[in-house]
Structure 1
Amino acid sequence: MPVTTRRDGATAYVTLDFPPVNAIGRETRQGLLDALGWIAGEPGLERVILSGAGRAFAAGADAREFDGPALEPHLPEVIAGIEACAVPWIAAIHGPALGGGCELALACRYRIAAPGAQIGLPEVTLGVVPGAGGTQRLPRLVGLASALDMIATGKPAPAALALEIGLVDELAEDPLFAAAEINHERLSTRVALGDLPGPDADDAAVSAAQAQAEKRMRGQTAPLRAIDLVAASATTPLAEAQQAERAAFLELRQGAQAKALRHIFFAERATKAPDGLKAAAPVDVKRAVVVGGGTMGAGIAYALLNAGIAVTLLETDAEGVARAGANVERIIAAALTRGLIDPAKAEASRAAFTATVDYGQAADADIAIEAAFESMEVKQQVFGKLEAAMRPGAVLATNTSYLDVNDIAAVLADPTRLVGLHFFAPAHIMKLLEIVRGAASSDTALATGFALARRLRKLPVLAGVCDGFIGNRILARYREAADTVMMDSANPWEIDEAMVAFGYPMGPYEAQDLSGLDIAHANRRRQDATRDPARRYIPIADRMVEEGRLGKKVGVGWYRYPGGGGKVVDPLVEDLAREEAHFAGVTRRDISQDEIRERLVLAMINEAAAILDEGIAQSAADIDVVTVAGYGFPRWRGGLMHHADTLGASAILARLRSFAEEDPVAWKPAALIERLAAEGKSFAGA
């Protein structure tokens, strides 16, 4: 049963019992209504204590129900019954109380949370608004500003903050015990939140929330609708406002954005080791080696330390050792300052970290992760030393972004030990981890990669071997399409504006300025020998590097950064593009923002279709996770391939064929797109 009940004297216990997260589906809602009926037939009760079994109070509604019609009984009916119950309810909260779980807690007269609880209304992150009174009861309890901060961002409140703003009444290590000890007279005087007057109006808080939503959740509908609903709590009667809230919830949950956000939510939850690895036992990683102490290596080292894994970082000389130590310490200090770790955790990480030039100190490590310079020669040398120093059962991993994992493994006596673990910078923050299966990679090495991803709280996606794997291969085509548009039609800032309007946090040229133009330049030089001579090459970025315009780190790239501050457009870049177009005999033309977006997005879809068809990616959903979690594709569009399915294979094919008339090499439609269009199928089903 998803809801269980019992009585102990004058106390009734109602437990949400649908592990692991006690999602509030139809059976749970019916169980709560049944509990209300049971309580009505139990004389002499003084309190009802509502709690969740297992590790959660309730982590929200069962989102799988959202794809169909709303099923009775509805949560607002349950909430109203709890709030109107003659016997006061107490919410004893541990773990997450999110969405409908938070709304259940708001229906109770009193709320007690364990120190590790998280309470919030994250519905906007799934493209909807709270649908059972959350936008109206929360501001009555904590005020308009605090309610806006939580609801419009979807950001949950940790227990300490919940106590500070008045969301919970007290904290207790054992909320159930504390709930049973509350004085009956005190409890009986508590007023239901629905009976309280609306909060004071706060136009400044509303304006600030709207500005933040426009900036950080650009293009999304739900946050602005949620802000309007919360603001209405100050002026609109509860019953009327709840009707408006429910109508908005039901409307939004069937919309394209909510469907896309649900898709990526479930796609991320599904990232796990393939079924074929179930029998493989991963190496138990207690000690790790990281080779290279630059930005990437230091981030990987910190991520490992934060997961309780001891780290030995190998560098080439004393200067590198000192730099690596400083880089790791900088991350630890920043995490401490931001409250992400406590002083004890910081000291434990420092104690578990060593930087050295001595490969002999890798002897007892369980895994080595190479994050050295992106050079085949360098990486092969590193793995030769690691194999000589480490025990035979230890896993070897390369963090290469582009290079052939099989060529790296070729220098090993036992190439089955090698697997690709492609982290994304900054490695201690970015959630994506591409796990690259080499031709010889053993199931043990792969299973270890997936197990490590779980410990690091990463989203692991299996990738095959090719230049750039999944994400960087798509990124290369994206940049090539952007460069072609720049040569033929538009300035970099116009292209950036088009893609920001599409939903990217920044356009391709601002992103290059942040990473450094020399990185992409080095990769182009690596590809010179194998580049298709029939494929059009745009040399503008090469000219930028030749002129020392390496990006923000030197104050000038595609943009200028005066004083190291914000970016400003640079007419010299436009002149350079026009000059190269003249040399190439290109007559530049005007182009609309819509066409810019179409060309760049279709270029990525075409490349992704080839990646899927070749088996480099295992599924369209994996490509969605990679593009959203690693490359800034707008989450509310569901990922690249989900967006492709909203366009349809036939429509995509028609546009690709149109573009192929001007460039049959770059725009040749992927075979998968042709098949799907002919068969009327989707990428999701490919």
Structure 2
Amino acid sequence: MTAINDVVDLTREGEIAVITLDSPPVNALSAQLRAGIAQAVEQAVADDAAKAIVLTCAGRTFCAGADITEFGKPPKDPSLSAVQAVIEAAPKPVIAAIHGTALGGGLELALSCHYRVAVPSARCGLPEVKLGILPGAGGTQRLPRIVGAEQALEMITSGAHVTAKDAAAMGLFDKLVAEGNLREDAIAFAREVIASGAPLKKVRDLDEAIAPARGKPEIFAEFRKKNARKFRGFEAPEACIQAVEAAVEKPFEEGLKFERALFEKLVASEQSAAQRYAFFAEREAAKIPDIPKDTPTREIARVGMIGAGTMGGGISMNFLNAGIPVTIVETNQDALDRGLATIRKNYENSAKRGRLSMEDVEKRMALITPSLALDDLADCDLVIEAVFELMEVKKEIFTKLDGICKPGAIMASNTSYLDIDKIASVTSRPGDVLGMHFFSPANVMRLLEVVRGEKTEKDVVATAMALGKRIGKVAVCVGVAHGFVGNRMLSERQREANNLIMEGAMPWDVDRVLHDFGLPMGPFAMADLAGLDLGWTPENSTGETAKERLCEIDRRGQKNGKGFYDYDENRKATPSKVTEEIILDLSRAKGITRRAISDQEILERCIYPMINEGAKILQEGKALRASDIDIVWLTGYGWPVYRGGPMFYADTIGLDKVVAALETYAKSLGPDFEPAELLVRTAKEGKRISEM
């Protein structure tokens, strides 16, 4: 064996040279690894006894991508493209032996080899679009030459992983080999290639798969149209489409140059910076400074759920999906039956879309133990309540749970706003109590706010964070405050949205501006979707807000076809004259002289107070870091990832500009706009708040 450097070895098995990459944890294509590969290939080519070359990786995976820490820094030689050129030009067949994941630059490396073999558990993909860039080492040029333009468009613009079976079916893998025997089987495949005397299969020279799309721009136009909603606001998907079109229409070298120009433009863009920031921020959110990574966690073998409504049922599905049995308790049989029927319907709908088999549906439903008795939660390791958002109701539930739950069981509330410490105070074991705030629909939304109370034990927090990951959530640890992080900031936006429609804007103006900013929908469309009567009753109605007055005349939102908007049978919204008259009447009654309000003012008044509140949250220590605030908004509220989150967005605007705008609004609109001390100080010091 020859050690090329610390991360690359070269050996020979008879007439087969074997290059092994060993750079834990994921064999990322660092400068050292790239240099080692190029040198090893050159040595294997120079070895007359070697007739073919196998490129394989040690550890748990093939190359899982580029070394993302090199982005934005001066490039180091050799580039990945230079390494690929060495491989592609080799006069001996080079075979990539793939296990784990071949992603991004890893797949591009494999595409420059003459053949690819993989184990059945392997996956591959080009996920660069998720970082606001495109594959920059020939991925957009080589992939279409194997799988065709349409398939390449899907893979590259989605960034999705492809199974080994599917990759083999589309010709991306030449052969699937046995699990656990990859090295030997890859060597055997190399010997077959030598014996066959077949010419080297250079992907760059292939044309058959892309020829059908040549001269047919309608293929690309249709793809853009089909995905317009999904791609809205993003720059990278369009660049990916253009690059694949170049693969079809241009000679290979021209296509490479075109791809590179697009890559360099994207990697320098604000969008890519935001998406890369979000990538790292999500991983950082799992770290809690005073809780070591190796903190023992409590075993969660059975979960109890109090409430089978929209939230209770949705939360339960997360655990059922992970194979964790759930005992669901309701107050009456009808509510329990409705909840179970909704869970089943959701699963059956997934089965109809091909995401689950009916066998999977039945397995998950079999994990449910329905009950009408809280006492049946006695054997649960974690109990989550999802009942009415009233402190007295929560306290009553937790008082009962204190006497029912076994020692060491974790008791959690799904409260959206209420004080976890007050809830914990009615128990004899506040250290076992915390908040686990799921977001609706709970079986879909990725965010889980783990609310750490004053007395919550460290192992309880660690268990909730680990459990969040286990059930596919992005868990973010937050402190106790009204609305925690997400809803506390949301209330700032909601206040200003309501003020704006009193002062001169209409709901559809506010919604349009925020939708154009990149949010999935504005606050008034969202209110209609949730139901305007959520938390409203005739008895508690003051008639002081547009929402209350709409409820008073039975305009409840999408559910009855009329709310802030009017809805047709397909739930298509149009501005409502009724709503407009109600708002104008309210403005008059409040003595407000309405005025024209610009889109810029709408945006600033909805977004800047959120940024300001985020700074207050940081100042108070209710979030561990600014990036955690951004992850809450990215994963729980639909904030556009290409804007990086509210705190990152503040930095892109310039904190001095945000502070100046807040001060101006404070003079005319009052103390709600007074800038947070942390925001002012950070702006004066020329620092970035997203790095705090």
- Normalising by the smaller structure, the TM-score range is over 0.9
From 254, 260, 263, give the equivalent of 1:240. 254
Q: Is the CA contact 1:324–1:355 (under 8 Å) kept in the aligned structure 2?
A: no
Instruction: Mark the CA change 1:245 to 1:390 in structure 2 (over 3 Å): closer, same or farther.
Output: same
Out of 572-581 and 327-336, give the one that drifted further.
327-336
Secondary structure (helix, strand or coil) at the match of 1:274 reads coil
> What's the counterpart of residue 430 of structure 2?
415
Q: 1:125 to 1:521 in 2, by over 3 A?
A: farther
Kept in 2: contact 1:88–1:188 (CA 8 A): no
Q: What is the correspondence of 1:601-680 to structure 2 with a 5 Å cutoff?
A: 601-680=607-686
CA distance in 1 between partners of 2:505 and 2:286 (Å):
42
Q: CA deviation at 1:515?
A: 1.9
**Shift of the alpha carbon at 1:17?**
1.8
Structure 1, 311-320 or 556-565: larger mean CA deviation = 556-565
Structure 2 match to 1:51 = 56
Q: 1:251 is aligned with what amino acid?
A: K
2:61 counterpart letter in structure 1: A
- Following TM superposition, by how much is the alpha carbon of 1:610 offset from its aligned partner in structure 2, in angstroms? 1.1
Q: Give me the whole-angstrom Cα distance separating, in 2, the residues matched to 1:669 and 1:520.
A: 31
Aligned amino acid, residue 408 of structure 2: G
Matched ranges for 1:76-155 at <5 A: 76-155=81-160
After TM superposition, give the deviation of residue 62 of structure 1 in Å: 1.2
The question of 1:267 aligning with 2:272 is answered no
- SS of the equivalent of 2:116 reads strand
With the length of structure 2 as denominator, give the TM-score of the two structures: 0.93
- Counterparts of 1:152 and 1:160 in 2: how far apart (Å)? 21
CA distance in 2, matches of 1:386, 1:340: 37
Supply the AA of the counterpart residue of 1:492.
Answer: P
Which deviates more from structure 2 when the two are superposed, residues 200-209 or residues 71-80? 200-209
On the 8 A contact 1:110/1:187 being kept in 2, the answer is no
| Amino acid across the alignment from 1:179 | A
Return 5+ residue gaps in structure 1 as ranges.
529-536
Q: 1:375 aligns with which of 390, 411, 423?
A: 390
Residue 295 of structure 1 aligns with which residue?
Answer: 310
Range moving further from structure 2, 226-235 or 549-558:
549-558
Separation (CA, whole Å) in 1 of partners of 2:560 and 2:177: 53
Matches within 5 A, 1:177-326: 177-182=184-189, 183-184=192-193, 185-186=195-196, 188-197=198-207, 199=211, 200-201=213-214, 202-278=216-292, 280-326=295-341
Whole-Å separation in 2 of the counterparts to 1:549 and 1:622: 37
Shift of 1:520: 6.2
Matches of 2:521 and 2:343, distance apart in 1 = 28
Q: Deviation of residue 13 (structure 1)?
A: 2.2
Q: Is the 8 A contact 2:450 2:476 kept in 1?
A: yes
Give the one of 20, 24, 32 matched to 1:19: 24
TM-score, normalised to structure 1, is 0.94
Matched to 1:434, the amino acid is E
Residues 420-459 of structure 1: pairs in structure 2 closer than 5 A:
420-459=435-474
- Partner residue, 1:589: 595
Describe the shift of the 1:274–1:372 C-alpha distance in structure 2 as closer, same or farther (beyond 3 A). Answer: same
Whole-angstrom CA distance in 1 between matches of 2:376 and 2:49:
69
1:234 Cα offset (Å): 1.6
C-alpha contact (below 8 Å) 1:109/1:187 kept by paired residues: no
On the 8 A contact 2:92/2:200 being kept in 1, the answer is no
Residue identity opposite 2:199 in structure 1? T
1:508 & 1:228 partners in 2: Cα distance?
35
Q: Equivalent residue of 2:117, what SS?
A: strand
- Aligned-pair distance for 1:177? 4.2
Superposition pairs of residues 570-585 of structure 1, within 5 angstroms: 570-585=576-591
Q: Deviations over 1:412-438 (max 9, x none)?
A: 122221100111122222211111011
The answer to whether the 8 Å contact 1:153/1:213 transfers is no
Residue 510 (structure 1) shift:
1.6
CA distance in 1, matches of 2:328, 2:379: 13
Which moved further from structure 2: 8-17 or 473-482? 8-17
Identity of aligned residues (%): 40
Distance 1:595 1:544, change over 3 A: same
Output the amino acid matched with 1:654: A
C-alpha root-mean-square deviation of aligned residues, in Å? 2.2
Shift of 1:311: 1.0
**Alpha-carbon distance in structure 1 between the residues aligned to 2:265 and 2:530:** 41
**Matched-pair contact (CA < 8 Å) for 1:5–1:13:** yes
**Does structure 1 residue 516 correspond to structure 2 residue 531?**
yes
User: For residues 590 and 457 of structure 2, what CA distance do their matches in structure 1 show?
Assistant: 49
Distance 1:407 1:104 in 2: 56
Following superposition, the deviation at residue 453 of structure 1 comes to 1.1
Between the aligned partners of 1:539 and 1:161, the Cα distance in structure 2 is 55
Following superposition, the deviation at residue 103 of structure 1 comes to: 0.6
Distance 1:548 1:465 in 2: 36
Distance in 2, Cα, partners of 1:256 & 1:394: 46
- Once the two structures are superposed, residues 107-157 of structure 1 have per-residue CA deviations (whole angstroms, 9 ceiling, x without a partner) of 122223333332211111111111111111111111111111111222232
Alpha-carbon distance in structure 2 between the residues aligned to 1:519 and 1:610: 28
Contact 2:104/2:126 (CA < 8 Å) preserved in 1?
yes
Alpha-carbon distance in 2 for matches of 1:78, 1:540: 64
1:570 alignment partner AA? S
How many Å separate the matches in 2 of 1:585 and 1:569?
24
Shift of 1:350: 2.5
Q: 1:280 to 1:101 in 2, by over 3 A?
A: closer
CA contact (8 A) 1:88 1:187 kept: no
SS at match of 1:6: strand
Kindly indicate whether the alpha-carbon contact (under 8 Å) linking 2:281 and 2:631 is maintained by their aligned counterparts in 1.
yes
1 CA distance for matches of 2:353 and 2:30? 37
Residue 3 of structure 2 is matched in structure 1 by none
